[in-house]
Amino acid sequence: MTVADPAPKPITSGKDPRFAPSLYAHVGQPGSWTLEYYRKHGGYEGVRRAFAIGPDAVIDEVKKSGLRGRGGAGFATGLKWSFMPLNDGKPHYVICNADESEPGSFKDRYLLSEDPHQLIEGMLIGGYAMRASVGYIYIRGEYVHAAERLWGAIEEARAAGLLGKNVLGSGFDFQLYVHRGAGAYICGEETALMNSLEGLRANPRLKPPFPAAAGLYGLPTTINNVETFCAATQILKYGADWHASMGTEKSRGMKLFQISGPVARPGVYELPLGTPFRELIDDWAGGPLEDIKAIIPGGSSCPMLRWDEATLDMPMDYEAIAAAGSMLGTGGVTLIPRSVCIVNATWNLVRFYAHESCGKCTPCREGISGWMVRMYEKLVRGRGVPGDVELILDMSENIGGRSFCALADACLGPVLSSIKLFREEYDALAETGQPLYPARSRWRES
């Protein structure tokens, strides 16, 4: 790009006329999950283009697009793909992490059930770029409907020569398998997912070696989120420049934001990265239905942010939210109303993590699953004593950064942020046993 060529203003709003949904363009359309529908709307053009430009060029294209992993960590996808060893003579694997279990995240289930071919195409592209001939889709066990759609789509694709030997006459062989999980959040952790896929107990593995060196069955493996693979499909279809034209400088492209809590229209919205919270909440979700006090920006693991003007004006991208002390995560925005006891709300999340701890390492098994959840129960049941909050904070210090995988740290996200923002609610429970916001029925009269 030359100096004379003025860079077009990047798209950072869903209301920008240049923006159009791509990932979710066909979600909700009748028959959108069939090959016939998908083909009619330009399906499998991306992979054709990938075959035309060659695997290295595909990785370059993904690198150029600025795509970052949509599963939560936000690692540059092109870079991750380039870690796979070349010509090492071993089989390679690509795995799609469809074990979407984080509270507040529900973007992948519609991609899986409404547009499965988009994912198959993305995995074909990824598999082709990383010289993998086998792909696995590890789908959350509860997504029965989505799994069935996926099986159907894979059968269709196989019959149409899009999977199997010599895909589309390119000489590239690719097989795709769906594996249904058995309901463990920890299987969203990539190494635990691989253990589960191998038929072992879903405990995270030691890193290094990283999956790109020794992953599934000890062979080079790359794991990406559903949305990442779908974005790769769109990048190959529309080009890296199209993708890079959206979003902020370091966070490029579109993202599926999910919003839940007391808003008029909760759901999934595809918006460019960098869209402010205000636009998502007010313009797309129809605004809050009651007084809000906190916002979880990206799924339950992300520290809460205070509901204020600065937060509302914050662009939803990886950097701005990180600067505010939280994470974009999966983009699962959750609003917490003023009238809800924050300790109770956090207990709900802590219970989730305590239930999902795999039990491998001490701080998570004993700290989260054994102690933290009981401290919260004690507080919420009104049996707290002064010093309990300090004890939770001290315990958190002994858990945070000491655990084997990120699950324990993920639990500390809501715990520490809620204590930081709403200490007075904790203190009230610890000292008087009475919550500042007593529980009430949350079923709205309709």
Partner 1 sequence: MKVTIDGIPVDLPAGTSALDAVFHAGRDVPYFCAHPYLSPVGACRMCLVEAGTPRKGKDGAFELDEATGQPKIFWMPKPMASCTLQATEGMHIRTAKTSDVVAKAQAGMMEFTLLNHPLDCPTCDKGGACELQDRAFEYGYGASRYGFDRRHADKHYALSDFIILDQERCIHCKRCVRYFEEVPGQEVLDFIERGGHTFIDTEEGGLPVGFQGNIADICPVGALLDNVARFRGRNWEYDHTPTTCTLCPVGCSITVDARNGRLERVVAGEHRDVNEVWICDAGRFGHVFATEERLTVPLVRVGGELREATWDQAIEAMRQGFSGHGSNVGLYLSADSTLEEGAALVALAEAVGTPSRDHWPRYPHTPMSTATLTDVATADALVVLGADLGEEAPVVELRILEALRGGLLPAEFAHGTAIADLRLTERPARTPEKLAVIGRESRLWRHAGLRVPAEGPDLLARLARPDTPDLQAALRLLEEAEKPVLILGADVLNGADTAFSAALSGLAGRVGAKVLVIPAGPNSRGLGGLNLVPGAGGLPYGRLGEVGAAFLSRLDPAAQGLPGRARGFTVVHDTHLTATAQGADVVLPAVTNYEKRGTTVNLEGRLLPLAQAPLRAGEGADLIRALVAVAEALGVRSPVRGLRGAQAWLEARYGLRLAELPAGGRLQPPRPPQDAATGLAHAPQLWKPRMLPRPERRGSGVPGREARAERWELPLAPAPQPGGDD
Question: Is residue 401 involved in binding partner 1 (CB under 8 A)?
Answer: yes
Cα four-point dihedral sign 119, 124, 126, 127:
positive
Q: In what order do the strands lie in the sheet with 93-98?
A: 175-180, 134-139, 93-98, 221-225
Nearer to partner 1, 153 or 395 (CB): 395
The helix (H) or strand (E) run that includes residue 80 is: helix 77-82
Question: Is residue 366 involved in binding partner 1 (CB under 8 A)?
Answer: yes
Compute the distance between CA of residue 316 and CA of residue 298 in angstroms, rounded to an integer: 9
Q: Where are the alpha helices (DSSP H) in 317-406?
A: 318-323, 342-356, 362, 373-380, 388-399
- Per CB under 8 A, the list member of 354, 380, 410, 411 interacting with partner 1 is 354
- Per CB under 8 A, the list member of 362, 393, 421, 431 interacting with partner 1 is 362
Compute the distance between CA of residue 277 and CA of residue 262 in angstroms, rounded to an integer: 15
Scanning 60-68, 94-102, 261-269, 354-362 for contacts with partner 1 by CB under 8 A, the matching segment is: 354-362
User: Least distance to partner 1 from the beta carbon of 103, Å?
Assistant: 16
Question: Is residue 432 involved in binding partner 1 (CB under 8 A)?
Answer: no
Question: Is residue 381 involved in binding partner 1 (CB under 8 A)?
Answer: no
State yes or no: cis peptide before 55, omega within 30 of 0. Answer: no
Scanning 40-48, 96-104, 271-279, 369-377 for contacts with partner 1 by CB under 8 A, the matching segment is: 369-377
- Per CB under 8 A, the list member of 110, 277, 376, 404 interacting with partner 1 is 404
Compute the distance between CA of residue 20 and CA of residue 403 in angstroms, rounded to an integer: 42
Question: How far from the centroid of its chain's Cα atoms is residue 145's Cα?
Answer: 20
Binding footprint of partner 1, residue count (CB under 8 A): 38
Question: Is residue 90 involved in binding partner 1 (CB under 8 A)?
Answer: no
- Per CB under 8 A, the list member of 363, 413, 414, 435 interacting with partner 1 is 363
Q: 3-class DSSP state for residue 299?
A: coil
Compute the distance between CA of residue 297 and CA of residue 402 in angstroms, rounded to an integer: 25
Q: 3-class DSSP state for residue 158?
A: helix
Bridge partners (DSSP) listed for residue 159 = none
User: Least distance to partner 1 from the beta carbon of 360, Å?
Assistant: 5
Question: Is residue 140 involved in binding partner 1 (CB under 8 A)?
Answer: no
Question: Is residue 352 involved in binding partner 1 (CB under 8 A)?
Answer: no
The residue whose two tokens read 């004690």 is 378
Cβ–Cβ < 8 Å for 150, 116: yes
Nearer to partner 1, 47 or 368 (CB): 368
User: Least distance to partner 1 from the beta carbon of 218, Å?
Assistant: 6
User: Least distance to partner 1 from the beta carbon of 201, Å?
Assistant: 6
Scanning 7-15, 135-143, 198-206, 234-242 for contacts with partner 1 by CB under 8 A, the matching segment is: 198-206
User: Least distance to partner 1 from the beta carbon of 193, Å?
Assistant: 15
Helices 388-399, 407-421: axis angle to 10 degrees equals 150
- Per CB under 8 A, the list member of 44, 371, 376, 422 interacting with partner 1 is 371
Nearer to partner 1, 133 or 362 (CB): 362
Question: Is residue 325 involved in binding partner 1 (CB under 8 A)?
Answer: no
- Per CB under 8 A, the list member of 308, 398, 424, 439 interacting with partner 1 is 398
The residue whose two tokens read 């952790």 is 189
Compute the distance between CA of residue 334 and CA of residue 326 in angstroms, rounded to an integer: 13
Nearer to partner 1, 35 or 399 (CB): 399
Q: 3-class DSSP state for residue 296?
A: strand
User: Least distance to partner 1 from the beta carbon of 104, Å?
Assistant: 21
Question: Is residue 205 involved in binding partner 1 (CB under 8 A)?
Answer: yes
Side-chain half-sphere CA neighbours of 40 within 13 A: 9
Question: Is residue 384 involved in binding partner 1 (CB under 8 A)?
Answer: no
Question: Is residue 358 involved in binding partner 1 (CB under 8 A)?
Answer: yes
Compute the distance between CA of residue 135 and CA of residue 423 in angstroms, rounded to an integer: 47
Residues in the chain: 446
Scanning 76-84, 108-116, 138-146, 357-365 for contacts with partner 1 by CB under 8 A, the matching segment is: 357-365
Compute the distance between CA of residue 265 and CA of residue 287 in angstroms, rounded to an integer: 8
Question: Is residue 4 involved in binding partner 1 (CB under 8 A)?
Answer: no
Q: Where along the sequence are the contacts to partner 1 (CB under 8 A)?
A: 184, 186, 200-201, 205-206, 218, 354-371, 374, 378, 391, 394-395, 397-404
